[in-house]
Structure 1
Amino acid sequence: MEFFKNHIWQILIVLNYTVALSAVLTILLKKVNPTKALSYIIGLLALPFLGLLIYYLFGQEYRKNKIFSRKQVLNQSTIKRIQNELELDAKEINVVDDLLDQKSKVIPLLYNNEKSKLTINNDIKLIKNGDEKFKLLFKDIEDAEHHIHLEYFIIKDDKIGTELLNLLCKKASEGLEIRIAIDDVGSSITSKMKRKLKDCGIEMYPFMPVRFSNSTGKMNYRDHRKIVVIDGKIGYVGGVNVSDAYVNANNDRYWRDTHVRIVGEAVKQLQILFFTTWDFVSGDELKISKAYFPEHNCKENIPLQIAASGPDTDWSNIMEAIFVAITNADDHVYITTPYFIPNSEIVTALQVLARSNKEVKIIVPKTSDSWIAEYATNSYLEMLLEAGVEVYQYTKGFIHAKTMVVDGVFCTVGTTNMDYRSFNINFEVNALIYNKNISSELTEFFNDDLKHCEKLQLKSWQARSKRTKLIEAVARLMAPIL
């Protein structure tokens, strides 16, 4: 015992590196992304104890373990029938091909990756900021007749959240089925409100509850989606969570975001996606009936695909769709993202496009809501500027929109940031819209945001202090695990 007391730190260090080396061997054998693997290995070897804690909390590969099974939902006869009904004939596909030219390569990619069907009969409304979204959403909820499904990364029972949850209680009292899936890390709802929701007959489950006794990698893989499906006819998706910050209620910082309201065939895809999450969080073997997929009366014809990715998919579907869209651009690409911490494929695609004399513009926040994400983002900007990419920093407040427009014919709005976490770790969802009018409107959003931006100049950006560049380099090293 005296020996252990006198050599406790040496013993702990030996134990630390014994476990750390075992973890390093596991990382190497799993063939993890080299950049991510190197980040973990450096952390394990250079940061005694802390490196092990980070790897314990964030390092497990649930995608490989396949614990997120969707077979219970996708094998149900109703879902199979709906999927078959969404198949387009050759004539309809040719119409989209003629409109998009090379951009139509995204369509078969998503179908082959994830059986994501292209739908034609859709009506789309782009939504700027949370206050506009909640006005529309509350009206749609008031008019709901059968069911309301919500899946959110963040729901807080602050002012706007309480208003939403109280409205849902009201609709539950009218006999509607209401289901809510919330991320356990992102959301914050009081016990009092949870009891009220339960007493109202609302079913709500957290996504991968985090408790330190059994959390392990659960803190890493989060449900970052924002989905609402109302009566199987109306769907919402985009960047706006349920919190006062998103409706600029706090008046301390302007919050700029983009969302989309969908009516038509694509809502069926959102519904199926919600059911896959619901099956996982609830553990219930819910019998999915045709009542959740009613006929719609949409007369508009806006082609749309719902792209989903996460640990339950074999491929990084949304990242690959973005990559294909960028590499096939003929004129311009406009990107808005709150976090720009991309993989090398996206960086190279943007650099090559800009050096090919195509117009590439990116908007990022000047001041982020995360200092480490801000420094990591800034570490990538110089190489973009050197290639001719135009980089703008949003100064009016915090820009949280996740959008891209390509050549004025294709655009995407969703939950996916241009970062490693969204591409490979979190559950995400984007609406991919193949339409000139919607793309033009989203371009107007982009140009309006440019009025509140500072354009970066290469020489002045290169003049940043060595201290700043060092912090950026360290933050970038941590980027794969942010």
Structure 2
Amino acid sequence: MIYLHWAILAIYSLTVVAAMVTVLMDRRQPAKTMAWVMVLLFLPLFGIVLYFFFGQNTRKEKLVSQRSLDQLTKRSMLEFAAQRNLKIPEDCAALVRLFANQSMALPFKDNQVDIYTDGYAFFLSLIKTLGAARHHIHLESYIFEDDSLGNLLADILIDKAREGVEVRVIYDDVGCWRVKNRFYDRMRAGGVKVCSFMPVKFPAFTGKVNYRNHRKICVVDGKIGFIGGMNVALRYLRGRRHRPWRDTHMKLEGGLVYALQRAFLIDWYFVDRTLITSRVYYPELNPAIDNDCLGQIVTSSPIQPWPDIMQGYVRILLEAKHYVYIETPYFLPTEPILFAMRTAAVAGIDVRLMIPMHCDAKLVEWASKSYVAEVIEAGVKVFFYDKGFNHSKLLVSDDFICSCGSTNVDFRSFENNFEANAFFYSREMACKMKQIFLDDQANCLSIEEVRKLFHTPFLQRLWESVIRLLSPLL
């Protein structure tokens, strides 16, 4: 027995050493490297479990081959090249190039956008659009709940599949961990093609749990698309725990639907290994949509070389001339975002941050407070939304640039999750987003009231600082 004890200890020690070497060779930020080394050294067993679940770096892995990516991109590039009189304003040219060079996020003009700020308006529009589908429905959601709303949408998808419409659904395996397989099996039996994203099953139950598909995308017939922050769940209609949910979602028509289609088809290839490039998924656009609404669909993921959306946020903050307004349900910013926010605020830019008064995850709420105190000290105006839970993820700057999608201002969204945001370079769109922010601000606590919340006892501040160490995992 004594030899078995030493054998187990030796195997464990070698595993820890191997993990530490891997962390060092990943060349992460020194603070992150030191944090993981300390966890592995001083948390026996628990530390190695944490590393296998949350510490492995997949950013360098090529999970989609470049050849397949080129094939999936070719069709949208042809449609991009067909655009007439495409002009990129000088004010946003560098940002547009950043996204285009890093992940082929091509800019498209001639877009019509409807913005929804409540679940009733969004889901009524989605149901109407799904009902009118004639060729295909592509739906991707982090959460697809087995509730009355989820079952209603499932029934619609099954009916459309029986009519001969191609229906493809992607759901995240961890986001839907409470949903029984029979819910998706019913859709499959009805002719719907359903795939889970990175299913977490033994014995492969390791780093997959850390890299989730948080995107919310829908494309119908290649002509209409939806993107934003709302999952398929009844809470967006009736709230949760007697608290209404506020969120922002968009319906797109025009060139950006091509980019949204490309994003979905890349994800479909990722989960199903089926390469879909036919012209029928990129139909001719409505010639009646002729405007200067310029936009990009920007995706980010841990397998891309760079954190595209985070880099875009940093650039917008550092190049702002007048203001930057941000809404996010979770505020656990990465160091570049924290630096950019503080730098902009100290430079006299009107930086406003809106977060919920009460979060749906207590650990996140505690960890967030120390970051909030930092940005307040730099001059950022923080607003706590107090009319329910604000799950909205939007940014608007200088009455010209705005963004909305699935990305939270936290480590998980910027570094670990598969996310998708629409970026617009349009005065009309920016002013609409700005008004949404100002309308939400009317339901927030004042700056003075927020400041009073941070006069807390020493032990509470210490606890919040300790929980902050877990920010990359929350």
TM-score by length of 2: 0.94
Contact 1:73 1:275 in 2 (8 A): no
Choose the corresponding residue for 1:163, options 143, 152, 169. 152
Question: Number of paired residues?
Answer: 470
Is the CA contact (8 Å cut-off) linking 2:224 and 2:252 kept in structure 1? yes
State the partner residue of 1:291. Answer: 280
| Contact 1:73-1:279 at 8 Å conserved across structures | no
Q: CA deviation at 1:73?
A: 4.4
Deviation, structure 1 residue 379: 1.3
Distance 1:287 1:227, change over 3 A: closer
- Letter of the aligned partner of 1:471 in structure 2? W
Alpha-carbon distance between aligned partners in 2 of 1:119 and 1:27, rounded to the nearest angstrom: 40
* SS of equivalent residue, structure 2 residue 407: coil
Structure 1 residues 185 and 475, CA gap change in structure 2 (3 angstroms):
same
For the pair 1:472 / 2:468, whether they are aligned, the reply is: no
**Aligned to 1:50, which of 41, 46, 53?**
46
Q: Check 1:169–1:81 CA distance in 2 against 1; reply closer, same or farther (3 A cut).
A: closer
Q: Deviations over 1:313-341 (max 9, x none)?
A: 21111111111111111100100001111
Q: Is the Cα contact below 8 Å between 1:335 and 1:361 reproduced in 2?
A: yes
Structure 2: distance between partners of 1:201 and 1:393: 45
Other-structure match for 1:239: 229
- The alpha-carbon deviation at position 372 of structure 1 amounts to 1.4
Deviation, structure 1 residue 274 = 0.6
> How much has 1:36 moved relative to structure 2?
2.6
Q: Letter of the aligned partner of 2:86 in structure 1?
A: E
Q: CA deviation at 1:14?
A: 6.2
Root-mean-square deviation (CA), in Å?
2.0
- Match in the other structure for 1:139: 128
Structure 2 Cα separation of the partners of residues 414 and 165 of structure 1: 23
Residue 82 of structure 1 deviates from its aligned partner by 3.0
1:374 Cα shift?
1.1
Which blocks of at least 5 consecutive residues in structure 2 are unaligned? none
- Residue-by-residue CA offset, 1:172-194 (whole Å, 9 max, x unaligned): 11110000011100024433332
Could you say what secondary structure the match of 1:338 adopts? coil
Out of 25, 29, 52, the position equivalent to 2:25 is: 29
The CA deviation at 1:91 is 5.2
Mapped to 2, the partners of 1:75 and 1:471 lie a distance apart of 51
Decide which of 393, 397, 412 is 2:388's aligned counterpart.
397
Amino acid at match of 2:16: A
- 1:80 maps onto 2:102 in alignment: no
- Partner Cα distance (2:263, 2:168) in 1: 14
1:263-282 mapped onto 2 (5 Å cutoff): 263-282=253-272
Q: State the match for 1:366 in structure 2.
A: 357
CA distance 1:374–1:70, shift in 2 (3 Å): farther
What letter corresponds to residue 28 of structure 1 in structure 2?
Answer: L
SS at match of 2:252: strand
Structure 1 gaps, min length 5:
none
| Structure-2 separation of matches of 1:278 and 1:224 | 14
Return closer, same or farther for 1:367/1:204 CA change in 2, 3 Å cut-off.
same
Matches within 5 A, 1:88-237: 92-94=86-88, 96-97=89-90, 101=91, 103-187=92-176, 188-237=178-227
Cα deviation, residue 459, structure 1:
5.8
CA distance in 1: counterparts of 2:259 and 2:296, whole angstroms: 8
1:222-257: CA deviation from partner (whole Å, max 9, x where unpaired)? 001000000000010110000111222556221110
Residue of structure 2 equivalent to 1:449:
440
- 1:198 and 1:421 mapped to 2: Cα distance? 31
Give me the identity figure in percent.
35
Q: Distance in 1 between matches of 2:84 and 2:271?
A: 38
| 2:75–2:282 CA contact under 8 A, matched in 1 | no
Native 8 Å contact 2:39 2:47 kept in 1: yes
Distance 2:370 2:239 in 1: 32
Cα distance in 1 for residues equivalent to 2:9 and 2:359: 37
Distance in 1, matches of 2:10 and 2:451, equals 48
How far off is 1:220 after superposition? 0.6
Q: Contact conserved, 1:122 with 1:265, CA < 8 A, in 2? A: yes
Deviation at 1:85, TM superposition (A): 2.9
Correspondence for 2:378: 387
Tell me which residue corresponds to 1:262: 252
- Equivalent position to 1:351, from 328, 332, 342: 342
Q: CA deviation at 1:93?
A: 1.9
232-241 vs 429-438, which deviates more?
429-438
For residues 143-196 of structure 1, the C-alpha deviation after alignment (integer angstroms, 9 at most, x for no partner) is 111000011111012011111110111111111000001110002443333232
User: Are the counterparts in 1 of residues 60 and 304 from structure 2 also a CA contact under 8 Å?
Assistant: no
Equivalent pair of 2:61/2:303 in contact (CA under 8 Å): no
1:60 partnered with 2:51: no
The residue number in structure 1 matching 2:37 is 41
